[in-house]
């Protein structure tokens, strides 16, 4: 006999079924359990959970359980809970290290072939634009250009000015020791124009636009909008991806130039306010330092980053699964892929320039 | 009496995601002018079958043929031509959310016709009027209710006067009256345009109201366990799963 007393609804600790069984068995062998619930005040799921595990425990030990003493509602709910047999999950065979490595390799191969296929599709789409048979709306392209061009200017300005400031400050500490403060202009100018402008613009756009591409296309996948495009005979790659890739590829070089200018202005601010360099001096020194080659390298890097960000964002969006959390994963993965690829691309471009002696 | 000609023929179709089998050995024929119901319990693969019928997924085995030709044996341009004769209404409408209703319909017309933009707008307005959404041309999908989205989705599906219309759970999420109105609309489309209609549904009222042919998918045995006119199935089918489904009865599992 198990006597149920008092409040079984509270969120506080309730006795566990194992304790109860152990308590019963202490008094000698048990063949059946009955309940007395006359002094049970209120009950909730806590009581049901307790009873279900008690009954399961009792079944294992071949003890029969008599439900009759329980309140009517509890009996009904228990009957519901046991009406459908428990879904037995087949225990997955334990994976060995070998099979894990193998699976990772196979997944990797799949990911590579998917990415290459996607890039191929985009390339074919680009070719179609020249033959005039690509299906996308020019209005979408203009909208995408506005979205990743003009609307990105404020944040690009802010970050680039700050990066220029930081470069100038850090460099000035060393340069001041030689009384060579004027070279702050060279340092900031070359660093911004050749690499930092493009990298900063790239990272900002990866977080801002790449993520938005992945989230937008991913949500379209969830809402079956991509399927609707396919059944309408419109290739999603042409309709959704091409305008975005073109927009970023066109805008990133411009943003890079803009970031260069902003960074130089940031450095100039430090030079003029902190180290008594005159505006003209600073500008003259900057002009002497920067070569057209530097500018080209920066702009071309920006172009490459633009393509990387757009392709990564759209690819992750298209690979998105059909749930809200999948959209989140797609967005995260788009940003990570873009930033990693940007850094790798920077390394490759730098090494190439070195080898070619540019 | 209209001439009966087969429109979609499915032969020994097996569907699987990777190694996970969804359904196997499905064989049935949808005739021109049929309202064909794909029914079965939740999670038995109804929507997956629909994805196979509209060419979004390739069968693991077996074939799907239109007008006597195997869809996946055709070359790309032929497949596109067949797909152009489809109209699909997705479960949530799947309207393109960055476009107005008029643009949603117009986009499809733009792709396949050389109509001037004023004419496209007029046609889009006509399709919207047919589904009872006259005047909603410039609304965005986020600004209208779920039932209206479905009707707008239907208007889009009908943009190119399709030969075959597919519906994925048209009554899901609709109140009884809207659902009834949608059923009437489906019948009206079939009678006026002579379209073939394939409906994925588990709404009994709707199944009996519109269907004249069907296939019943079973999740447990992973294959079809009945086919034919739903009303005849209700009267004659001896299978307990089918019978309890159609009578809204209690399946054996829960019965004590």
Q: Is residue A192 assigned to a domain?
A: yes
What is the distance between the alpha carbons of residues B53 and B66, in angstroms, rounded to a whole number? 10
Which residues 131-150 of A have a C-beta within 8 angstroms of B?
135, 137
The DSSP H or E segment spanning B127 is: helix B117-130
Residue A8 pairs in a beta bridge with: A43
Residue of B nearest to A81 (CA): B254
A225 contacts on B by Cβ (under 8 Å): 94-97
Measured between alpha carbons, how far is residue B241 from residues A20, A292, B199, B224, B231 in Å?
Answer: 42, 78, 20, 11, 16
- Nearest CB neighbour to A225, from listed B84, B97, B253: B97
Q: Is residue A211 assigned to a domain?
A: yes
Long-range CB contacts for residues A82-85, cutoff 8 Å, separation at least 24: A82/A55, A83/B254, A83/B256, A84/B253, A84/B254
What is the distance between the alpha carbons of residues B230 and B242, in angstroms, rounded to a whole number? 10
Residue of B nearest to A135 (CA): B111
Rounded to 5, what percent of chain B is helix, strand, coil? 40, 25, 35
Measured between alpha carbons, how far is residue A256 from residues A96, A293, A347, B192 in Å?
Answer: 49, 15, 17, 59
Measured between alpha carbons, how far is residue B28 from residues A187, A263, B86, B218, B246 in Å?
Answer: 75, 68, 19, 15, 20
Of A337 and A11, the structure prediction assigns the larger pLDDT to: A337
- Can you say whether the dihedral through the CA atoms of A293, A299, A303, A305 is positive or negative? positive
pLDDT in tens, chain B (256 residues): 445 667 888 888 888 887 888 888 888 888 888 899 998 888 888 888 988 888 888 888 888 888 888 888 888 888 888 888 888 998 888 899 888 999 999 888 888 888 888 888 888 998 888 888 888 889 999 998 888 888 899 899 888 888 889 998 888 778 888 888 888 888 888 888 888 999 998 888 888 888 888 988 888 888 888 888 888 888 887 788 888 888 887 655 544 3
Helix axes A72-83, A45-60, angle to 10 degrees: 60
Please list, in sequence order, all residues whose beta carbon lies within 8 angstroms of the beta carbon of residue B173, skipping any fewer than 6 positions away: B146, B147
Tracing tokens 């290739």 back to the chain, one arrives at: A235
Question: A–B: how many Cβ contacts below 8 A?
Answer: 50
Q: For A165-217, how does the pLDDT look when each residue is reduced to its tens digit (9 = 90+)?
A: 999 999 888 888 888 888 888 999 999 999 899 999 999 999 999 999 999 99
A137 contacts on B by Cβ (under 8 Å): 107, 110
Residue A33 pairs in a beta bridge with: A65
| Count of domains observed in chain A | 2
Q: Is residue A111 assigned to a domain?
A: no
Q: Is residue A251 assigned to a domain?
A: yes
Q: Is residue A117 assigned to a domain?
A: no
Residue of B nearest to A224 (CA): B94
Which residues 163-222 of B have a C-beta within 8 angstroms of A?
none
Note the Cα A271 to chain centre separation in Å: 39
Q: Is residue B146 assigned to a domain?
A: no
Q: Is residue A268 assigned to a domain?
A: yes
pLDDT at A205: 94
* Backbone phi and psi for residue B60, each to the nearest 5 degrees, phi listed first: -70, -35
Q: For A210-222, how does the pLDDT look when each residue is reduced to its tens digit (9 = 90+)?
A: 999 999 999 999 9
Cβ of residue B55 closer than 8 Å to a chain A Cβ: yes
Residues A158 and A295 both lie in one domain: yes
Tracing tokens 């008094």 back to the chain, one arrives at: A27
Tracing tokens 């969006």 back to the chain, one arrives at: A317
What is the distance between the alpha carbons of residues B120 and A91, in angstroms, rounded to a whole number? 58
Mutate to test the interface with A, among B17, B20, B102, B108 (most CBs of A within 10 A): B108
Q: Is residue A235 assigned to a domain?
A: yes
Q: Which of A62, A83, A104 is the last residue of a domain?
A: A83
| Count of domains observed in chain B | 1
| pLDDT of A163 above 50 | yes
* C-beta atoms of A233 and B84 within 8 A: yes
Residues A163 and A75 both lie in one domain: no
- Tell me the average pLDDT across A323-328: 90
* ipTM rounded to 2 decimals: 0.81
Q: Is residue B35 assigned to a domain?
A: yes
Q: Is residue A106 assigned to a domain?
A: no
Q: Is residue B156 assigned to a domain?
A: no
Mutate to test the interface with B, among A83, A146, A233 (most CBs of B within 10 A): A233
- Tell me the average pLDDT across A154-166: 94
The DSSP H or E segment spanning A313 is: helix A292-318
* C-beta atoms of A224 and B54 within 8 A: no
pLDDT at B255: 42
Q: Is residue B18 assigned to a domain?
A: yes
B97 contacts on A by Cβ (under 8 Å): 220, 223, 225
Q: What CATH number is attached to the domain comprising B7?
A: 3.40.50.300
Measured between alpha carbons, how far is residue A35 from residues A16, A40, A183, B105 in Å?
Answer: 16, 11, 89, 66
Cβ of residue A95 closer than 8 Å to a chain B Cβ: no
Q: Is residue B220 assigned to a domain?
A: yes
Q: Is residue B223 assigned to a domain?
A: yes
**pLDDT band with cut points at 50, 70 and 90 for residue A6:** low
Residue A34 pairs in a beta bridge with: A66
Number of Cβ within 10 Å of residue A185's Cβ equals: 26
Q: Which of A83, A115, A144 is the last residue of a domain?
A: A83
What is the distance between the alpha carbons of residues A2 and A21, in angstroms, rounded to a whole number? 9
A232 contacts on B by Cβ (under 8 Å): 107-108, 111
| pLDDT of A86 above 80 | no
What is the distance between the alpha carbons of residues A12 and A152, in angstroms, rounded to a whole number? 53
Tracing tokens 């009945």 back to the chain, one arrives at: B226
Residue of B nearest to A225 (CA): B94
- Nearest CB neighbour to B83, from listed A223, A224, A231: A231
Give the minimum alpha-carbon distance from A307 to chain B in angstroms, rounded to a whole number: 23
Cβ of residue A223 closer than 8 Å to a chain B Cβ: yes
- Can you say whether the dihedral through the CA atoms of A320, A149, B94, B13 is positive or negative? negative
* C-beta atoms of B80 and A233 within 8 A: yes
* C-beta atoms of A224 and B91 within 8 A: yes
Q: Is residue B229 assigned to a domain?
A: yes
**pLDDT band with cut points at 50, 70 and 90 for residue A12:** low
Q: Which of A83, A102, A127 is the last residue of a domain?
A: A83
pLDDT at A11: 62
Mean pLDDT, chain A, as a whole number? 87
Q: Which domain holds residue B42?
A: 1-85+164-171+187-256
* C-beta atoms of B97 and A220 within 8 A: yes
The DSSP H or E segment spanning A36 is: strand A32-36
- Can you say whether the dihedral through the CA atoms of A234, A237, A240, A242 is positive or negative? negative
pLDDT at B4: 61
Q: Is A42 left (phi over 0), alpha (psi -120 to 50) or beta?
A: beta
B54 contacts on A by Cβ (under 8 Å): 231
Residues A149 and A59 both lie in one domain: no
pLDDT at B176: 85
Q: Which domain holds residue A223?
A: 135-356
Residues A76 and A142 both lie in one domain: no
Q: Report which of B214, B160, B205 is spatially closest to residue B183, judged by C-alpha positions.
A: B205
DSSP state of A91: P
């Amino acid at each position: 006999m198990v006597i149920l007393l008092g409040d079984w609804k509270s969120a506080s600790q309730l006795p566990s079924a194992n304790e109860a069984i152990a308590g019963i068995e202490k008094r000698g062998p048990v063949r059946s359990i009955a309940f007395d619930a006359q002094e049970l005040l209120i009950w909730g799921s806590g009581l049901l959970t307790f009873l279900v595990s008690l009954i399961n425990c009792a079944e294992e030990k071949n003890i029969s359980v008599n439900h009759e003493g329980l309140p009517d509602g509890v009996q009904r709910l228990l009957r519901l809970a046991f009406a459908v047999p428990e879904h037995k999950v087949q225990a997955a065979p334990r994976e060995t290290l070998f099979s894990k490595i193998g699976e990772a390799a196979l997944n990797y191969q799949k990911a590579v072939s998917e990415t290459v296929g996607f890039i191929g599709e985009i390339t074919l789409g680009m070719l179609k634009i020249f033959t005039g048979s690509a299906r996308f709306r020019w209005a979408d392209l203009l909208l995408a250009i506005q979205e990743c061009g003009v609307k990105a200017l404020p944040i690009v300005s802010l970050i680039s000015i700050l990066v220029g400031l930081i470069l100038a400050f850090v460099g000035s500490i060393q340069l001041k020791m030689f009384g060579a403060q004027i070279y702050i202009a060279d340092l900031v100018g070359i660093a911004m124009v050749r690499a930092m402008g493009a990298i900063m613009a790239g990272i900002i756009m990866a977080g801002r636009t790449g993520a938005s591409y992945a989230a937008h296309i991913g949500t379209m996948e969830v809402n079956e909008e991509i399927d609707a495009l396919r059944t309408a005979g419109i290739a999603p790659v042409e309709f959704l991806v091409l305008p975005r890739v073109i927009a970023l590829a066109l805008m990133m070089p411009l943003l890079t130039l803009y970031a260069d200018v902003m960074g130089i202005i940031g450095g100039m601010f430090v030079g003029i306010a902190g180290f008594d360099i005159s505006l003209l001096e600073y500008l003259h020194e900057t002009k002497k330092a920067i070569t057209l080659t530097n500018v080209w390298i920066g702009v071309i890097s920006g172009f490459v980053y633009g393509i990387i960000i757009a392709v990564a964002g759209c690819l992750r969006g298209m690979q998105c699964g059909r749930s809200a959390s999948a959209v989140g994963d797609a967005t995260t993965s788009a940003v990570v892929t873009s930033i990693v690829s940007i850094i790798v691309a920077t390394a490759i471009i730098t090494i190439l320039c070195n080898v070619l002696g540019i | 009496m209209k001439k009966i000609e087969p429109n979609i023929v499915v032969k020994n179709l097996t569907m699987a995601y990777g190694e996970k089998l969804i359904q196997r050995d499905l064989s049935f024929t949808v005739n021109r002018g049929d309202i064909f119901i794909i029914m079965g319990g939740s999670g038995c693969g109804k929507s997956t079958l629909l994805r196979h019928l509209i060419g979004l997924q390739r069968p693991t085995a077996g074939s799907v043929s239109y007008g006597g030709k195997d869809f996946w044996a055709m070359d790309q341009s032929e497949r596109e031509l067949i797909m152009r004769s489809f109209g699909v209404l997705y479960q949530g409408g799947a309207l393109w959310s960055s476009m107005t209703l008029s643009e949603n319909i117009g986009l499809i017309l733009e792709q396949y016709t050389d109509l001037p933009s004023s004419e496209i707008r007029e046609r889009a307005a006509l399709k919207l009027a047919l589904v009872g959404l006259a005047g909603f041309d410039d609304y965005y999908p986020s600004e209208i209710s779920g039932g209206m989205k479905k009707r707008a989705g239907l208007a889009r599906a009908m943009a190119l006067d399709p030969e075959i219309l597919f519906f994925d759970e048209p009554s899901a999420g609709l109140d009884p009256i809207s659902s009834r109105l949608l059923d009437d609309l489906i019948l009206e489309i079939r009678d006026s345009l002579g379209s073939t209609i394939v409906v994925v549904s588990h709404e009994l009222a709707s199944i009996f109201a519109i269907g004249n042919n069907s296939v019943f998918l079973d999740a447990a045995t992973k294959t079809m366990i009945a086919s034919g006119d739903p009303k005849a199935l209700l009267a004659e089918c001896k299978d307990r799963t089918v019978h309890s489904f159609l009578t809204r009865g209690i399946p054996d599992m829960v019965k004590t």
